[in-house]
Amino acid sequence: MIPYGRQDISDEDVNNVIKVLNSDYLTTGPNVNEFEDNFSKYIKCKHSIAVNSGTSALDIALSSLGIKKGMEVITTAFTFVATSNCILYNNLKPKFADIDYSFNINPDSIRKKITNKTKAIIYVDYAGNPCNIKEIKNIADEYDLYLIEDAAHACGAESNGSKIGTFADVTTFSFHPVKNITTGEGGMVTTDNDDISNKLRLLRNHGINKEYNIRNQEQSYLYDIVTLGRNYRITDFQCALGSSQLKRLDAFIDKRTLIAERYKREINYPNQLIENNIKHAWHLFTILLNNKTERDSFFLYMKNNGVNVNVHYIPIYKFSYYKQFNFKPLKNTEDIFNRIVTLPIYPSLSEFDLNKIIDLTNKWKYCA
Ligand SMILES: *Cc1c(COP(=O)(O)O)cnc(C)c1O
């Protein structure tokens, strides 16, 4: 089976991890700081805080803002469930705004969901396609809302010449193996705000009021717990992989872009609308079929021919756990969910496999 996404690990990546496994520190050692510094330099942001998953990144991103229990956070339902689970972890209420045919949250729909309890917006750059950040910022300024950017798909993407990770109050990334770079499991939070950065570091490490530094021989035994934190730390060997992968990120995106360009040129189904002045990170490549039965039939056909296509995403309000909140279905979210298919895209996808996928797609004829 050709997967829809997969990691690309080089010999150098492997060797960089082995070096750390043979060193003194498996966790909270020099590689964590190094990965954070490398990431900040790449994104051109002030602070990067590495954690053990993209979900942990979202959880502490929201906690760091100190929003009062029971307040509302507007987000999209057309995303991985972690985007809205983090709202529930923090005893806040998710409100889903609709998307448009960029597959990103629609600014007009955000406006309609704002109440006097709304405190933040979490927006997702679907597939690595940056949102209309200018318009979302205008809304945030107008209503005094925090912005969290879930950039799990958008590591390396740009809007108006700046990297994603520099726009929102807090931005989160994921390094799961299908994402643009991987640490196995892992994530990153970026911010330019010193106070938020300090809170994020506390929340990552049990709320301990100083960074535990095992290398510091002078360290006193005294420490304090100043907030309710977690253990969301990432290991040193994962961070060695992260730094090693980060060097390859631009080349990864170039490969993904070539694949996306061929799909766009050679496949006759529409894909997402893309803004001007952006650099797409192409975490996913999706097409829209005409209706649900056609999509379901295409999905099976591709699977039967050895191509593991996927559907990103089932709208979050459809899940059993979310039924208790009585969300109403959203028009564009429903339409796109019913018609969408994710085609394979990853740096090591071979010419042979890519030709096969394009060929299969073009040969396919839906018969009702
Ligand atoms: C992958 C993903 C996450 C969660 O990241 P993990 O590292 O798997 O915890 C969050 N949001 C979106 C949109 C994702 O795609």
pLDDT digits (tens, 9 = 90+) for 105-117: 999 999 999 999 9
| Opening angle at CA 346, ends 341 and 348, nearest 5 | 140
Question: Could you tell me if 97 and 110 are in contact, meaning their C-beta atoms sit under 8 angstroms apart?
Answer: yes
- Summarised one tens digit per residue, pLDDT across range 180-204 is 999 999 999 999 999 999 999 999 9
Whether ligand 1 lies within 6 angstroms of the CB of 153 is answered as yes
Cα 309 to ligand 1 centroid, rounded to whole Å:
19
Position with higher pLDDT, 346 vs 276: 346
- Summarised one tens digit per residue, pLDDT across range 46-56 is 999 999 999 99
Binning pLDDT at 50, 70 and 90, where does residue 365 land? confident
DSSP-assigned letter for residue 149: E
Cα 23 to ligand 1 centroid, rounded to whole Å:
30
Q: Is the pLDDT of residue 285 over 80?
A: yes
Alpha carbon separation from 221 to 30, 79, 207, 213, 214 (Å, rounded): 21, 44, 16, 11, 11
Q: Is the pLDDT of residue 307 over 90?
A: yes
Going by C-alpha positions, the residue among 233, 190, 226 that lies closest to residue 25 is 233
3-state DSSP assignment of residue 226: coil
Summarize the confidence of residues 82-98 as an average pLDDT. 98
pLDDT value at residue 249: 98
Whether ligand 1 lies within 6 angstroms of the CB of 124 is answered as yes
Cα 325 to ligand 1 centroid, rounded to whole Å:
22
pLDDT value at residue 214: 47
Specify the pTM.
0.97
pLDDT value at residue 359: 97
Q: Which of 80, 86, 104, 129 is the best mutation target for the ligand 1 pocket, counting ligand atoms within 8 Å of the beta carbon and taking the most? A: 80
- Summarised one tens digit per residue, pLDDT across range 196-251 is 999 999 999 999 987 655 445 566 677 889 999 999 999 999 999 999 999 999 99
Cα 137 to ligand 1 centroid, rounded to whole Å:
23
Whether ligand 1 lies within 6 angstroms of the CB of 51 is answered as no
pLDDT value at residue 367: 72
What gap in Å lies between CA 261 and CA 299, rounded to an integer?
22
Cα 259 to ligand 1 centroid, rounded to whole Å:
23
Going by C-alpha positions, the residue among 289, 307, 295, 288 that lies closest to residue 346 is 307
pLDDT value at residue 216: 56
Question: Could you tell me if 257 and 249 are in contact, meaning their C-beta atoms sit under 8 angstroms apart?
Answer: no
H helices present in 124-178, as ranges: 133-143
pLDDT value at residue 199: 97
Q: Which of 51, 55, 182, 232 is the best mutation target for the ligand 1 pocket, counting ligand atoms within 8 Å of the beta carbon and taking the most? A: 55
pLDDT value at residue 360: 97
Question: Could you tell me if 92 and 67 are in contact, meaning their C-beta atoms sit under 8 angstroms apart?
Answer: yes
Whether ligand 1 lies within 6 angstroms of the CB of 238 is answered as no
3-state DSSP assignment of residue 289: coil
Whether ligand 1 lies within 6 angstroms of the CB of 181 is answered as no
Binning pLDDT at 50, 70 and 90, where does residue 368 land? low
Cα 149 to ligand 1 centroid, rounded to whole Å:
12
Summarize the confidence of residues 140-151 as an average pLDDT. 98
Q: What percentage of the chain has pLDDT greater than the value 70?
A: 97
CB atoms within 10 A of CB 249: 15
Position with higher pLDDT, 329 vs 220: 329
- Summarised one tens digit per residue, pLDDT across range 30-70 is 999 999 999 999 999 999 999 999 999 999 999 999 999 99
Summarize the confidence of residues 325-354 as an average pLDDT. 98
